[in-house]
């Protein structure tokens, strides 16, 4: 009798995805900026790390006003990163190593250099070309005031006035981010038709999925009303039509075999996020509640439980993420005394892209190690950001002359922006550029004292951050429970996080105990006889039961 094949779990439900910021990963042509060939050259490192997939921040044609998040041609690669042929080679090289490859997809806005925007400027007020963006006449007698009081996420007004083709000061256009990033009008049918076609273009080339940039922001209130605080009014409910867009994207993904996926970027609350994860919409959403949680058990616990609860209503797995290219690196965040100062507020929803402030990097590194074991154990998909596995800190002392993030300019030089988490990867050697490039003139300068942080320096060091990640990722592949099943909370000492993950039988479960306090904590009674398989503190002996978990550390235990 022929049995039906067992249902397979789509790969993205419990994957570990490694985010590559292409400018900062590896430079193959000595121009100081990373590129696709550089990624191919270092793909064995990525595969060896033990991740399942990569996500590339944008590499499409772009004037780089926001480092690729301003796309001028969605169907080609920017020459700074290489060519379409290089991308095809990268796709092949990933698949040959069993890695999936996902791309950033930027639907909220184009570059001002996109042909549609150029056509809109040329065509004049009221034209069909302008209708694809949000053009409005200004207020005031001469139209000299912006159409409303909304502020840009990057600082300053979110409207820019143009010069009409006849040379006169003219209409204003809306940009949620920089003026070089005009927002598209997603109520216009051309926009959906174009972007579904772009998805097909990349899916047909073998791309396994997408990360959808500012995905919940597509539908602004068309009345553009003034608001008390200058925040934009963005509609996210069913009536807004935004979910029809994601349903259309879903249908395109499903035209292709192989569980193509999409993860959305949204800073919304868990219940709103879950709307985008209904079965006929997107697959995953970044869990920024977890990213934003400060170093204490109550906040981390709340971030885990609220995301799990909201997602389970729609049958979607949760993602776990501490670091990305917009956020102060967690080594630095966890080392700042948040309980006293609260200086570091990561995540998009805060609208705060800045670094700066005091941090104890040694303490932050210890806490980052502890967090890595929680991140990689929780059921669902984990996202890692290049350099996280090396324990790179944020670089907050870049000279002002080196700063590149548009936030620096747009905030009137009051917010330094996100450059500090985007420093090029240190691969090997004793001095900058640490084998990132053949030129020392890297697009952002690299700290002179990163020799102990290079991948080469950490590779054979049993106590290194890289070794912790590689060991944890290998265990995640070989041991049941990790990244799967349900979370069960254990009774533990106050202020300590203790939980098990995995299947229904005791053998298939694994316990994680994270102690974010200074003093050691006893291992909870329920798992006191279990054996430690991995500990973030190198002084904890693995292989047998442990009595206590040192402060600012975590441990994995098995029955
Ligand atoms: C979110 C991206 O992660 C960020 O880097 C970018 O600046 C904005 N979206 C605008 O596209």
pLDDT for 349: 27
Question: What does the buried/exposed string (b/e) look like for 265-302 if buried means 16 or more CB atoms within 10 Å of the residue's CB?
Answer: bbbbebeebbbbbbeebbbbbbbbbbbbbbbebebbee
Give me the CATH number covering residue 162: 3.90.400.10
Asked if residue 135 belongs to a domain, the reply is yes
pLDDT for 557: 97
Three-state DSSP at 166 gives coil
**CA–CA separation, 486 and 498 (whole Å):** 13
Pocket test for ligand 1, best of 184, 213, 263 (most atoms within 8 A of CB): 213
Identify each DSSP E strand in 312-440 by its residue range.
319-321, 381-385
Q: Is 557 in the pocket of ligand 1 (CB under 6 A)?
A: no
Q: By percentage, how much of the chain surpasses pLDDT 70?
A: 95
Nearest-CA residue for ligand 1 atom 4 is: 326
Residue 137: how many other CB atoms lie within 10 Å: 11
Q: Is 214 in the pocket of ligand 1 (CB under 6 A)?
A: yes
Domain boundary among 439, 458, 477: 458
Q: What distance in angstroms lies between residue 411's CA and the mean position of ligand 1's atoms?
A: 16
Q: What distance in angstroms lies between residue 326's CA and the mean position of ligand 1's atoms?
A: 7
Asked if residue 468 belongs to a domain, the reply is no
pLDDT, one tens digit per residue, over 374-412 is: 999 999 999 999 999 999 999 988 999 999 999 888 888
Domain residue limits at 531: 485-558
pLDDT for 16: 98
Same domain, 192 and 156: no
**CA–CA separation, 153 and 155 (whole Å):** 6
Same domain, 200 and 347: yes
pLDDT, one tens digit per residue, over 323-340 is: 999 988 999 888 875 433
pLDDT for 407: 87
Domain boundary among 174, 196, 217: 174
Same domain, 199 and 170: no
Asked if residue 354 belongs to a domain, the reply is yes
Which tokens belong to 419?
């450059």
Same domain, 403 and 337: yes
Pocket test for ligand 1, best of 19, 22, 59, 66 (most atoms within 8 A of CB): 66
The closest-lying atom of ligand 1 relative to the alpha carbon of residue 108 is 11
Q: What distance in angstroms lies between residue 235's CA and the mean position of ligand 1's atoms?
A: 19
- Integer Rg of the chain from CA: 24
Asked if residue 446 belongs to a domain, the reply is yes
Pocket test for ligand 1, best of 177, 178, 218, 323 (most atoms within 8 A of CB): 177
Map 408-448 to HEC letters: HHHCCCCCCCCHHHCCCCCCCCCCCCCCCCCCCCCCCCCCC
Q: Parallel, antiparallel, or unpaired for β 261-264 and 209-212?
A: parallel
Same domain, 165 and 254: no
Q: Is 450 in the pocket of ligand 1 (CB under 6 A)?
A: no
Give me the CATH number covering residue 495: 2.60.40.1180
**CA–CA separation, 556 and 346 (whole Å):** 27
Q: Which positions are annotated as active-site residues? A: 213, 265
pLDDT for 524: 97
Q: For residue 74, what is the enclosing H or E element? A: strand 73-77
Helices (H), 205-294: 242-254, 270-275, 288-292
Checking phi first, is residue 533 left (phi over 0); if not, alpha (psi -120 to 50) or beta?
Answer: alpha
Q: Is 180 in the pocket of ligand 1 (CB under 6 A)?
A: no
**CA–CA separation, 310 and 315 (whole Å):** 9
Q: What distance in angstroms lies between residue 6's CA and the mean position of ligand 1's atoms?
A: 40
pLDDT, one tens digit per residue, over 134-149 is: 999 999 999 999 999 9
Domain boundary among 133, 152, 174: 174
pLDDT in tens, the chain (559 residues): 445 555 578 999 999 999 999 999 999 999 999 999 999 999 999 999 999 999 999 999 999 999 999 999 999 999 999 999 999 999 999 999 999 999 999 999 999 999 999 999 999 999 999 999 999 999 999 999 999 999 998 888 999 999 999 999 999 999 999 999 999 999 999 999 999 999 999 999 999 999 999 999 999 999 999 999 999 999 999 999 999 999 999 999 999 999 999 999 998 899 999 999 999 999 999 998 898 888 899 999 999 999 999 999 899 999 999 999 998 899 988 887 543 333 333 332 233 334 446 788 999 999 999 999 999 999 999 999 999 999 999 998 899 999 999 988 888 888 888 999 999 999 999 999 999 999 999 999 999 999 999 999 999 999 999 999 999 999 999 988 999 999 999 999 999 999 999 999 988 999 999 999 999 999 999 999 999 999 999 999 999 999 999 999 999 999 9
- The tally of domains found in the chain comes to 3
Exposed (0-12), middle (13-18) or buried (19+): which is 30, by Cβ within 10 Å?
exposed
Q: CB-based contacts of 559: which residues, under 8 Å, 6+ apart?
A: 506, 507, 509, 527, 529, 530, 531
Q: CB-based contacts of 283: which residues, under 8 Å, 6+ apart?
A: 10, 12, 209, 261, 262, 263, 277, 316
Nearest-CA residue for ligand 1 atom 11 is: 69
The closest-lying atom of ligand 1 relative to the alpha carbon of residue 324 is 3
Same domain, 93 and 135: no
Same domain, 150 and 77: no
Q: Is 396 in the pocket of ligand 1 (CB under 6 A)?
A: no
Asked if residue 419 belongs to a domain, the reply is yes
**CA–CA separation, 556 and 530 (whole Å):** 9
Asked if residue 250 belongs to a domain, the reply is yes
pLDDT, one tens digit per residue, over 68-96 is: 999 999 999 999 999 999 999 999 999 99
Q: Is 419 in the pocket of ligand 1 (CB under 6 A)?
A: no
Same domain, 209 and 281: yes
Same domain, 384 and 426: yes
Mean pLDDT, the chain, rounded, equals 93
Same domain, 157 and 194: no
Nearest-CA residue for ligand 1 atom 2 is: 213
pLDDT for 417: 86
- Total residue length of the chain: 559
Give me the CATH number covering residue 42: 3.20.20.80
Asked if residue 476 belongs to a domain, the reply is no
pLDDT for 3: 54
The closest-lying atom of ligand 1 relative to the alpha carbon of residue 66 is 7
Asked if residue 473 belongs to a domain, the reply is no
Exposed (0-12), middle (13-18) or buried (19+): which is 152, by Cβ within 10 Å?
buried
pLDDT for 239: 96
Same domain, 80 and 35: yes
Same domain, 164 and 45: no
């Amino acid at each position: 009798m022929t049995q039906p094949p067992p249902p397979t779990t789509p790969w993205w439900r419990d994957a570990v995805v490694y985010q590559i910021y292409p400018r900062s990963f590896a430079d193959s042509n000595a121009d100081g900026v990373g590129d696709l060939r550089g990624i191919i050259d270092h793909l064995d490192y990525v595969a060896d790390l033990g991740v399942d997939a990569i996500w590339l921040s944008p590499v499409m044609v772009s004037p780089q006003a926001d480092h690729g998040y301003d796309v001028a041609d969605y169907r080609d690669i920017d020459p700074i990163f290489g060519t379409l042929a290089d991308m095809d080679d990268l796709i092949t090289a990933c698949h040959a190593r069993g890695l999936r490859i996902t791309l950033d997809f930027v639907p909220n806005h184009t570059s001002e250099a996109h042909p549609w925007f150029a056509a809109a400027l040329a065509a004049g007020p009221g034209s069909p070309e302008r209708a694809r963006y949000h053009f409005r006449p200004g207020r005031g007698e001469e139209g000299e005031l912006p159409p409303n009081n909304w502020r840009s996420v990057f600082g300053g007004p979110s409207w820019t006035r143009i010069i009409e083709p006849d040379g006169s000061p003219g209409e204003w256009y809306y940009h949620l981010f920089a003026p070089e990033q005009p927002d598209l009008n997603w109520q216009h049918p051309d926009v959906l038709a174009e972007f579904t076609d772009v998805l097909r273009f990349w899916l047909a080339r073998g791309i396994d999925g997408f990360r959808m940039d500012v995905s919940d922001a597509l539908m602004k209130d068309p009345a553009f009303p003034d608001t008390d605080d200058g925040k934009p009014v963005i509609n996210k409910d069913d009536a807004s039509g935004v979910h029809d867009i994601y349903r259309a994207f879903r249908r395109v993904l499903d035209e292709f075999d192989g569980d193509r996926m999409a993860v959305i970027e949204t800073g919304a609350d868990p219940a709103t996020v879950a709307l985008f994860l209904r079965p006929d919409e997107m697959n995953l959403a970044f869990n920024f509640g977890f990213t934003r949680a400060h170093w204490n058990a109550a906040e981390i616990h709340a971030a885990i439980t609220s995301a799990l609860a909201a997602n389970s209503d729609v049958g979607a797995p949760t993602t776990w993420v501490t670091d990305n290219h917009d956020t102060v690196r967690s080594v630095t965040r966890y080392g700042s005394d948040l309980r006293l100062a609260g200086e570091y507020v990561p995540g998009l929803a805060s609208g705060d892209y800045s670094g700066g402030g005091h941090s104890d990097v040694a303490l932050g590194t210890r806490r980052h190690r502890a967090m890595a074991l929680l991140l990689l154990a929780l059921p669902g998909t984990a996202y890692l950001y290049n350099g996280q596995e090396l324990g790179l800190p944020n670089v907050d002392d870049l000279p002002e002359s080196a700063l590149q993030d548009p936030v620096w300019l747009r905030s009137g030089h009051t917010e330094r922006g996100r450059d500090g988490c985007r420093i090029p990867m240190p691969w090997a050697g004793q001095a900058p550029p640490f084998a990132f490039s053949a030129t020392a003139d890297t697009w952002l300068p690299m700290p002179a004292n990163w020799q102990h942080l290079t991948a080469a320096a950490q590779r054979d060091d049993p106590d290194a951050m890289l070794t912790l990640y590689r060991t944890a990722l290998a265990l995640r592949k070989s041991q049941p429970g990790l990244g799967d099943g349900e979370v069960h909370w254990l009774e533990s000492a106050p202020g300590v996080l203790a939980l098990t993950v995995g299947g229904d039988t005791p053998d298939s479960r694994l316990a994680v105990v994270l102690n974010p306090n200074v003093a050691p904590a006893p291992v909870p009674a329920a798992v006191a006889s279990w054996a430690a398989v991995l500990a973030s503190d190198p002084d904890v002996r693995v292989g047998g039961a442990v009595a206590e978990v040192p402060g600012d550390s975590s441990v994995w235990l098995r029955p």
